[in-house]
Structure 1
């Protein structure tokens, strides 16, 4: 398969800082070699430095989305499957736009469903899914080439074990499909019934059980093992067309033994093998 791996090495507007070091660490950990050994034609593209000189978080966050949307669309024009490695979950809004996805599978320990009105800390990345669903930051999202908000009924939220009270209240009003990793494949039919034709797969790596794989400082107890998550994404690849993938939130400073990159390589390798079989 022809693949384009797109690097968006930003964390909260900062280039190559915190989570922004994750994409390069995954590449240095052997991802390209792993996928090439499996027979894939792999190209790596880096969006480089974007945004303004002040590196304002909101402006830079959406500049990253715009750059990613353009890179993803170019990959698709070249009939290459896009995989985005990014620091922040907000980048998924750009990937969704470039994919022209009509639905999203959001696998994350967090809901990322805060809005400026409900966020206690003003953390932009905590509004990532809300932005992708068109619930906030609409003028900024409209600057992303090709962006169309995903209808909440065509969103599957997997795990989300760490929700703020306002996120729980919001979810009570939305037709988002809530599920856990063990039951997610049983919910794909509901996603299709809502009109999903091609989905974007978003993986926040902190969904993993931190006792088995520590990816950053925000992880809470619970979540799937690497094997459970890998089996889930392979099942999703066989169950619904996936237009593209984002992987986010890996901070190598919390992975002293370098355990995360090999896990990512195996996960993506097995996911792509499952996708090729459909």
Structure 2
């Protein structure tokens, strides 16, 4: 019997470049995600949403915008995920931006210190308020998880312990190395971070997912998906529109997610950077994405009874 699946909404774009991602949990529910998961054979409980936060320009803190709001959203995700894990449930977190992964890992590492994170993203998210001028925390999340120099202290301190993650607990899937800042490249090399490329994920999604999972520790597993890993032409979903005609299709991603979410260590899938407005010209993309989540989280088929076993009464 598969565990109950608790759905948590994190409707925040506070750490983003612009509004939009805060609508993702509502839109995915309206498209029937909960019913689709139940139809796939999961027992589902919708735990509702954390605080609704809409990005606005933070002119007082231009290099670390909306830090207090982001920290509140991370804490809310951590609280809801911790409650679900305590009840022995799996969790689906609907973001919001990629800072939701910090809340997930704050809860998961408290539950199992040997937990690992498969981070499916076009970017390393290793920037800090000092390494970039745009001030958006959604591509700084893992810099805070790894407690890099010049990370924003209030956010690092809110994560429970430091560093929240070690390099051995992390594997990136789908990175576009050319999109990394010089600081990110330096830190990735210095820390010995493990990653596979966007092109490799597009070409061999199942093999790359299997390789990444084999490199992670034996504890509980979280999978974080930033939808900007996708080829934006195939699946216009992400806040960032840079990934045109590169990266995996939604069908390729589906194959990788299915393997990751069937891993016996799996406990949490979180979704980040989905801006429903991006699909306005092709709304069927959102329906396809809901089907992708259903496929990833449906229970594995039951093993057939062998000829020497009696059927259950």
TM-score, structure 2 as length reference: 0.79
Q: By percentage of residues, which structure has more strand?
A: 1
Q: 1:164 aligns with which of 178, 181, 184?
A: 181
- SS of 2:191's equivalent in the other structure is coil
Query: Structure 1 residues 92, 275: CA separation in 2 closer, same or farther (over 3 Å shift)?
Result: farther
User: Which ranges in structure 2 are unaligned for 5 or more consecutive residues?
Assistant: 59-64, 304-313
**C-alpha deviations, 1:126-170, integer Å up to 9, x for none?**
101211222233442322457861111221111121212221122
> How do 1:206-245 residues align onto structure 2 when only pairs under 5 Å count?
206-219=228-241, 220-221=243-244, 222-239=246-263, 241-245=265-269
Name 1:78's counterpart in structure 2. 87
Q: What residue number does 1:39 align with?
A: 41
* Pairwise CA RMSD: 2.6
Please give the secondary structure, in 2, of the residue aligned with 1:153.
helix
- 1:126-141 equivalences under 5 Å are 126-135=139-148, 136-141=151-156
- What is the alpha-carbon distance in structure 2 between the residues aligned to residue 105 and residue 205 of structure 1? 14
8 Å CA contact 1:97, 1:144 repeated in 2 = yes
Q: Deviations over 1:189-230 (max 9, x none)?
A: 222xxx342221100111111111001341323111111111
What does the per-residue CA deviation read over 1:75-100, in whole Å, with 9 as the maximum and x for residues that have no partner?
Answer: 12222211111111011101111223
Q: What corresponds to 1:247 in structure 2?
A: 271
Q: Which has the larger radius of gyration?
A: 2
- Count the aligned residue pairs: 272
**2:234 & 2:53 partners in 1: Cα distance?**
35
Equivalence map 1:56-75=2 (5 Å) = 57-75=66-84
- Take 2:288 and 2:165, find their aligned partners in 1: how far apart are those partners? 29
What's the TM-score once normalised by structure 1's chain length? 0.88
Cα 1:189–1:79, aligned 2, differ >3 Å: closer, same or farther?
closer
CA distance in 2, matches of 1:39, 1:263: 19
1:177 aligned onto 2:194: yes
**Counterpart Cα distance in 1 of 2:76 and 2:161:** 12
Q: What residue number does 1:201 align with? A: 223
- Shift of the 97–59 alpha-carbon distance from structure 1 to 2, 3 Å rule, reads same
C-alpha distance after superposition, 1:62-121 (max 9, x if no partner): 100001111111112222211111111011101111223622111111221101221231
Q: Do the aligned partners of residues 10 and 268 (structure 1) sit closer, same or farther apart at CA in structure 2, a change above 3 Å counting?
A: same
Q: 90, 103, 113: which one pairs with 2:126?
A: 113
**Contact 2:7–2:91 (8 Å) recurs in 1:** yes
Distance 1:58 1:277, change over 3 A: farther
Contact 1:112/1:129 (8 A) holds in 2: yes
Deviation at 1:247, TM superposition (A): 0.2
For 1:178, what is the secondary structure of its paired residue?
Answer: strand
- 2:295 matches 1:270: yes
Structure 1 gaps, min length 5: none
C-alpha separation in 2, matches of 1:39 and 1:61? 34
Kept in 1, the 8 Å contact 2:12–2:96? The answer is yes
